[in-house]
Amino acid sequence: MVLILTVVFTVTALYNHYAFRYSKQAIILLDKVSVRSGLAEDSTELFLLHAGTKVKIDKENKDFYRIYFSDGKIGWLKKSEVGVI
């Protein structure tokens, strides 16, 4: 039982370290931006974010980032709307 718990905690710790070290983060630069469901400006607006909000970047396209917001929401933003940190 102790061996199983040790393995579980070790794997969890390694995953968290990797996710923290290698995930890109960004800050919203504009006063208000629409996070969209797809890679087009006419895609459905899912939610709004405001200047200074920190997000994690999951995927990258030519003009867009797919982002994760802290409450678990996911969507796409134009690269010009955020600054990578």
Contact 63, 73 (CB under 8 A): no
Superfamily of domain 24-84 in the CATH hierarchy = SH3 Domains (2.30.30.40)
Q: How far is CA 60 from CA 5, 6, 12, 40, 74, in A?
A: 36, 35, 26, 14, 13
Q: pLDDT tens across 34-75, in order?
A: 999 999 989 999 999 999 999 999 899 999 999 998 888 999
1: three-class secondary structure by DSSP = coil
Q: Where are the domains of the chain?
A: 24-84
The model's confidence at residue 16, banded by pLDDT at 50, 70 and 90, is: low
Query: What is the pTM (predicted TM-score) of this model?
Result: 0.72
Q: What share of the chain is helix, strand, coil (3-state, %, to 5)?
A: 30, 40, 30
